[in-house]
Amino acid sequence: MQKNIINIGIFAHVDAGKTSTTENLLFKAGKIRTLGNVDQGTTHNDFLAIEKERGISVKSSISTLEWKDYTINIIDTPGHTDFAFDVEKSLSVIDGAILVVSAVEGIQGHTETIWNALKKLDIPTFIFINKIDRIGADIDALLQQIEKTFTSNYISLQKIENEGLDAVAIFDELENPSTEFLEKIVSFNDDLMEQYFDGNTISKENLEEELKTNTRNKNLLPILLGSAKLQMGIENILDAVIQYLPLNKEKNEALSAQIFKISHHKDLGKICFARIFSGSIKNRSVLKNISQNIEEKVGQLKINSGAKFENSQEAFTNEIVAICGFEQAKIGDYLGSKPLHHQENIELNKPLLTVQVKPKEEKDFPKLVAALTKLSSEDTTLDLEWLKEEKELHIKILGKMQIEILQNILEKEYYVEAVFEDPTVIYKETPSKAGFSFVRYWMPKPCWAILKFHIEPAETGSGVTYESKIGVNDVLQKYQNEVEKTIPFALKQGIKGWEVTDLKITLVEGEDHNVHSRAGDFTIATPMGIMEGLKEIGTTFLEPYISYKITAPEEFLGSITSEIVQMRGTLESPEIEGEKFTLTGTLPVATSLDFPIKLSSLSKGKAIFSSQFHGYQKCEDKLGIEQEYRGISPLDTAKYILKARKALQ
C-alpha cells in the first residue's frame, strides 16, 4: 500500500534555532530516544566534526520520522549564507517548507533571501517563530515585520501570554478563535463569510479545512509559535506539516527522480541522494540518467537518516533514497524522466571570490587534489580548477568563513592540512571597443585553418553571442562547428587573466584546405585568433556588485550612508517608518567584503542586512586586479601550438 510521504525543507538564518527545532521534531515523534544539544555537538543531524565543534550546520542532512500515519522526510539545511548551495538544491525536491524565525532577532538577511526563493518557486510554507521565551521576544513587532517584508496574508495559529519569560503560555486560536483570526479565514470563502456576518458560528472542522485549502494553494501563510529549548509548540509543527503542506500525488508509474545531494562516505564511497517523484528504484537496477544521456547501475540502495544508513531493496514514489555505485552522476541530474512539475533552478548566492589552495606538505598534493575533487562534486560552486603543469589548485568561494570550514573538513575528514591564499574578487573582462582579429595556422604542416573574426562589446550582462557569416564553401560546416564549440574555452581567460564576457563574435572570413585541414586545426586556431584580437582592441575590467537592503534605527542613518559612499556604493532615498529606516542600493564586492561586520559595529548590532548578487559593471583599470595567464597563453604562439599538438610536455 502506498504510504503517505511528505518531504519538507527546514530553513532559517543562522542561530534562529533550526537544528534544535529539527532535533525536537525527531524526539517528539520517537525517532530518537535522547534529545541532542547544538552547543554540545550531540544533535542527530550535525554529525561532521566541524558541525559538532562550531554548533552550526554546513551541509544539508536528511532525517525521517513517522507521525499519525505519515512519513515525514526532513531536509535540514545550513543557515549560513556561505553554504547556500545545499539550500538551493534542497528547494528542488521538497513538497513544502518550514521557515524558522527567532522571536528576538526577527527577520534577518538570509531569512528574507529564503522567503523570496520559496515564493518564486511557489512552495507552500509556514513559519515557526522560535525562542518566544527569550528576553527581548516581541511577537507583535515580528508580525508587523512579516506583514511588511513577506505578506499581509499571514495567520497566526496561536496567541501567547508572558512572551520573553519562562512562564510563556500558548493558546490555540482554533479552540477559541479571535475576531481577526475568523475574518482572515472566511475572507477566502463566500459561503463562510456570509455565515460569519449573519452571526452564525463557524465550526472548528470548517475552519481547519479552510486553513488547509488556503495554505496549500499559498493564499495564507500560517504562523506557529514556540520554543525548541522548552520543547514548546513542537507537536503543533508536526500536525501543521501533515495538515497544511501538500502531498505529491503523482500516479505515473514511470521513474522520475532527481539527484539533489552528493556526499562521500569512508565505507560506502560516493553516495547520490535522490528524491523519487514517481515510479520506483530497485537495488542493483540500471537507471537512465537523462541529464547526461548515460546509464549507471545501482550498487547499493540505502535509506538515510542523519549519519545512519539502512539497506533497501526498493524505494518508491516520494521516498528519498541514497544510491551507491554511481560514478558519473552529478547534482541536479534527472533519472528516468523529468517530473511533470519540476522546480526550476534558483541561485541564492553566487561565488564572487577565488582562492588558491596549497598543501601544507608538498607530499600531500595528490591527497589534496583527490579531496578537493570530491568536495567539488558535493558543491559544484567550488568549481575546482586544477592546473597540472603549474601544480596549482583554485576554487571559488562565497565568503571567508567558507575557507575556515573547508580547512577543517580537509583536515578532519580527508587527513590533509591545506593552506588557503588570500581570496581575490572574481573580475571579468569585456572588449573596450570593436575590432577585427586574424589568424593563419598553416605551419608546421599538416594543418590549415585561416579565420577572421569581428569582435565587438555588447550590453552589460548580455553574455556571449557568436555568429558565422561565411559559407560552407569557405570553411566546411564540421570545421565551423569546431570554431563555435571552442569559443567558450577561448574566452575563459582574457588579456587581463579573467573570463571575457558581454561581447559579440562574428566569423567574417575563413579558409580550409581539402588536404591539410583537420577539425583540430580550428580548435587550435580559434583561441589564437580571439586572443590576438582582444590584445589589439583592449579589454575593460568588469567587477561584481551586490544589491543590499539595510533596516536600522534612524539614528544610524548618517554613519551608514557615509560608509556606503566610501565603498563606492549607490543608495536610493531611504524609506522612513516610525523610528527606523530602510535603505537599498548596490555595492562593489571588492569594497564590501567586511561590511556586515562594520555595519554591526556602526549600528550596535541593531541593523538587519540582506544582499544578493546584482551583476557585473565596468570599472577603471586601477580598481581591478590583473592576474597572470594560467597555463600557456595562445599569444605565445609557438609554445601554444606545440602544447596543443602534444609535442610539449
DSSP string, 16-51: SSHHHHHHHHHHHTTS-SS---TTTT--SS--SHHH
State the Cα–Cα distance between residues 142 and 128, nearest whole angstrom.
12
Q: Give the pLDDT of residue 270.
A: 95
For every residue of 156-207, which 3-state class applies, written as one string?
ECEEEECCCCCCCEEEECCCCCCHHHHHHHHCCCHHHHHHHHCCCCCCHHHH
The count of other CB atoms within 10 Å of the CB of residue 420 is: 18
- d(CA 293, CA 275) in angstroms, rounded, equals 19
DSSP one-letter code for 306: T
| CB neighbour list of residue 181: distance below 8 Å, 6 or more residues apart | 155, 156, 173
Residue 114: predicted pLDDT: 93
Q: How far apart are the first and last CA of the chain?
A: 62
What is the signed CA dihedral for 108, 111, 115, 118, rounded to 10 degrees? Answer: 170
**What is residue 243's three-state secondary structure?**
helix
For residues 5 and 248, give the distance between their C-alpha atoms in angstroms, rounded to a whole number.
8
Q: Determine the Cα–Cα distance for residues 128 and 97; give it in Å rounded to an integer.
A: 10
Beta bridge partners of 224: 128
* CA neighbor of 573 nearest in space, from 564, 558, 583, 565: 583
Residue entry with cell 559612499: 565
Residue 181: the pLDDT is 93
What CATH architecture does domain 353-426 belong to?
2-Layer Sandwich (3.30)
Q: Quote the CA–CA distance of 258 and 212 in Å, as a whole number.
A: 28
CB neighbours of 352 closer than 8 A, spacing ≥ 6?
398, 425, 426, 544, 546, 589, 613
CA distance 599 to 182: 42
C-alpha cell at 302: 540505502
Domain boundaries, the chain: 4-174+220-244, 256-335, 353-426, 429-649
The per-residue pLDDT for 127 is 97
CA distances from 400 to 83, 244, 333, 585, 616 (A): 11, 39, 29, 23, 21
- DSSP conformation letters of 444-504: SSS--EEEEEEEEE--TT--EEEEE---TTTS-HHHHHHHHHHHHHHTSS-TTSS-B-SEE
What does the pLDDT read at residue 164?
81
The CB density around residue 636, as the number of other CB atoms within 10 Å, is: 15
- Determine phi and psi for 447, rounding to 5 degrees: -165, 155
Q: Is 224 left (phi over 0), alpha (psi -120 to 50) or beta?
A: beta
DSSP H/E element including 643: helix 637-644
For residues 419 and 234, what is the distance between their CA atoms, to the nearest angstrom? Answer: 43
Q: pLDDT tens digits for 146-181?
A: 999 999 999 999 998 888 887 688 889 999 899 999
Q: What is the pLDDT of residue 1?
A: 47
349 is written with which cell numbers? 548566492
CA distance 20 to 234: 11
**Cα-based torsion angle of the residue sequence 192, 197, 203, 207 in order, rounded to the nearest 10 degrees:** 50
According to DSSP, residue 106 is labeled B
Residues 128 and 226: their CA atoms lie apart, in Å, by 7
CATH class of 256-335: mainly beta
The topology under which CATH files domain 4-174+220-244 is Rossmann fold (3.40.50)
Single-letter amino acid code for the residue at 352: L
pTM: 0.87
In the structure grid, which three cell numbers stand for residue 181, read together?
A: 483570526
CB atoms closer than 10 angstroms to residue 104? 17
Ranges of the chain with pLDDT below 50 = 1
Tell me what percent of the chain is helix, strand and coil, each rounded to the nearest 5: 30, 30, 40
Q: Which residue has the cell 501543521?
A: 240
Per the CB < 8 A criterion, the answer to whether 533 and 456 are in contact is no
- From 621, 626, 637, 442, select the one nearest 532 (Cα to Cα): 637
Spelled out in words, what is the top-level CATH class assigned to the domain 429-649?
Answer: alpha beta
Distance CA 394, CA 356 (A): 4
Task: Specify the 3-state DSSP secondary structure of 278.
Answer: strand
The pLDDT score that the predictor gives to residue 458 is: 97
CA dist., res. 57 & res. 76, Å (int): 8
C-alpha cell belonging to residue 273 = 541522494
Residues in contact with 2: Cβ distance below 8 Å, sequence separation at least 6, in sequence order: 316, 317
Nearest to 506 by CA among 532, 535, 467: 467
User: Measuring CA to CA, how many Å separate 221 from each of 125, 146, 188?
Assistant: 7, 10, 13
Residue 95 in 3-state DSSP?
A: coil
